[in-house]
Structure 1
Amino acid sequence: MTITTTAEDLFPTRLATPSDFIERTQPAVWGSADDGPFSASELEAHEQRGFTILDDFISAESVALYSRELDRLAGDESLRDDPRMITERTTGTVRSVFEVEKLSDVLSALARDPQVIDRARQIVGSDVYLHQTRINYMPSFTGTGFYWHSDFETWHAEDGMPIPRSVSLSIALTDNYPYNGGLMVMPGSHRTFVPAVGETPDNNHEQSLQSQEAGVPSHAAITAMAEKYGIDQFTGAAGSALWFDSNIMHGSGNNITPYSRSNVFMVFNSVENALGDPYAARSPRPMHIANRDFTPLR
């Protein structure tokens, strides 16, 4: 099932000049405690903070299983010229592999695991489909981070996602320390949309997945957001999980430690929030980055 219409633009971005922040009116949690595994108190905290950390989300055996899949995909020579494989600009090492549910039966099954899909449905309040999947690698010594950004800003501007009715899941397959490039988030920042300045370059995804430049907030905007919301960090042992809102401001630093970091990343979008035409780009990004098959995940 595909949809190509575009709803009213509630979040104008990629503008010619800076504009005011937009306070979001849509909830972060659309379901209730009766709809899935999250308790009422967990859902309330997620609504307020924009993220939830679950320790021991998967077992040590599952960590080992998914880690082997990461290693297999990273070492698959048939993917070297595949657009789904993204390498570091300076070292050529693997940075991300996209659309992993089509490259791995094991990871496809993970997306459909009840403890995963039931939580995703509960947060967005409807059936879901996979908007995007990938595995991320941050190798020791040379791993480069991701600059501060809101995923929804890109998904809205370049993919045509109408509103932030989607949730991301990041499962740690290595221990996340405060010093090996762990993800930083601004708690509560999901309530504020920060419009970006500057036109989207054609085929922006070809370079943005290595180093994002279009769509990133200014230093002044990041400073204002940090002063309002503060900064927290996702740390925890392998097997822990981070559920986070699509509009939360987040980023990560470089990893110059001897301890590598890797994770599985899946984005669940409401089938009632299907993509239309991009709001601030001339053409949509490829299907392996922004899925346009909105068939509910089962």
Structure 2
Amino acid sequence: MTAVAGSTARTSPRTGDRYRTRVSDTPDLVERIEPTVWGSESSAGMFGAQELAAHARDGFVQVPGLLDPQEVAGYQAELDRLATDAGLRADDRCVVEKSSNEVRSIFEVHRISDAIARIARDERVVGRARQILGSDVYIHQSRINYKPGFGGGGFYWHSDFETWHAEDGMPVPRAVSCSISLTDNHPYNGCLMIMPGSQRTFVSCVGETPEENFRSSLKEQEIGTPDNDSITAMANRHGIAMMTGKAGGATFFDSNCMHGSGDNITPYSRSNIFLVFNSVENACTEPYYAPTRRPEYIGARDVTPVR
């Protein structure tokens, strides 16, 4: 791949790739052929058949009370500790808000925090991911997200798989994210929003991937976000669901779900632990539509199964 003017690189579509993106001046909607639930609905695990069926239909399923109040308090204290760690703030894994300079996200947090490492290995979490993906899983990405009151920034509409495919080389949407809420999620404090059923359609994006796009996209994503007409078509087709609920609840959602969240202008902060599990049978290759790989702390290359 050869860099061109403006620090961007044109990448040629791989032969046979269904999920072409960032290579055309016009977007496209591509119907997915892979399942959303790869395991059997009768397989043993913490999800019942009805929950797996809901995940297959909607692309997400909520688990109220995954953590008890004592666990929530412990993880809240851990997030406070990490956010005020001066050494960590200087690390590339720490991303700050563009406007306020407050901590927005900390990546690869399961390698930084023993507490987060424990919940990433907890069968309440990883066991459900195995059920959905029908295989052993590894952690493709982990992070904690902070959305403080009075200005915590939102995340524009996007499909994670579009980015993971284009920039990390994830072959197909056989990954699932688990967002564990450590604060109450209200409709008005920037809660996660998902278009139910949107995981069945891949929305290609326009615009080439710049060199080191991650440095700006982690603060405010621009490349890899759908155009307004595609978002409107998807919203009209699927509607929008708000992931509200008490602290300690979790949402498992498919990697290709169209999702986003608004800014938080209320006094009520919102924070969560975010764990991405990819099937060991879906290990990342070279990026499909980006000049170089993103750093390991954003898109892991270690496919050791979580035990």
Q: Please give the range of the TM-score, normalised by the shorter of the 2 chains.
A: over 0.9
1:8 Cα offset (Å): 4.8
Aligned counterparts of 1:50 and 1:37: Cα–Cα separation in 2 = 17
Match of 2:32 among 16, 20, 24: 24
The residue matched to 1:34 in structure 2 has which SS? coil
Residues 1:214 and 2:212 are matched in the alignment: no
Q: For 1:162-181, what aligned pairs fall within 5 Å after superposition?
A: 162-181=171-190
SS at structure 1 position matched to 2:251: strand
Contact residue 7 and residue 162 of structure 1 kept, 8 A:
no
Counterparts of residues 267-278 of structure 1 (less than 5 Å) = 267-278=276-287
Cα-to-partner distance string for 1:155-206 (whole Å, 9 max, x where unaligned):
0000000000000000000000000000111000000000000100100000
Q: Could you state the TM-score of these two structures normalised by the residue count of structure 1?
A: 0.97
CA contact (8 A) 1:186 1:248 kept: yes
TM-score by structure 2 length? 0.94
Q: CA RMSD in A?
A: 1.0
Give 1:76's aligned residue: 85
* Separation in 1, partners of 2:185, 2:62: 12
Letter in 1 for 2:172: I
Quick one: distance in 2 between partners of 1:278 and 1:69? 34
Question: What letter is aligned with 1:158?
Answer: E
Q: In the alignment, which residue of structure 2 is the partner of 1:113?
A: 122
**Cα separation, 1, equivalents of 2:79 and 2:248:** 14
Tell me, what secondary structure is at the counterpart of 1:199? coil
Contact 1:171 1:264 in 2 (8 A): yes
Matching residue's letter, 1:149: H
Preserved CA contact (<8 Å) 1:10 1:163: no
Name the structure 2 match of 1:155: 164
CA distance 1:74–1:45, shift in 2 (3 Å) = same
- Give CA-to-partner distance per residue, 1:56-98, whole Å, 9 cap, x none: 1110011011111101110000012201000001110000000
How many pairs does the alignment contain? 293
Q: Distance in 2 between matches of 1:194 and 1:151?
A: 11
Question: Partner letter of residue 112 of structure 2?
Answer: L
Residues 27 and 227 in structure 2, CA contact (< 8 A), matched pair in contact too: no
Query: Could you tell me how far apart the structure 2 residues matched to 1:20 and 1:81 are?
Result: 40
Letter in 2 for 1:18: T
Q: How does 1:57-206 map to 2 (within 5 A)?
A: 57-206=66-215
Gaps of 5+ in 1: 1-5
| Structure 2: gaps (5+ residues) | 1-13
Distance 2:28 2:170 in 1: 21
Cα distance in 2 for residues equivalent to 1:28 and 1:123: 8
What's 2:4 paired with? none
Residues 1:8 and 1:269: Cα distance change in structure 2 (over 3 Å): farther
The SS at the match of 2:105 is strand
Identity rate of aligned residues, in percent?
Answer: 58
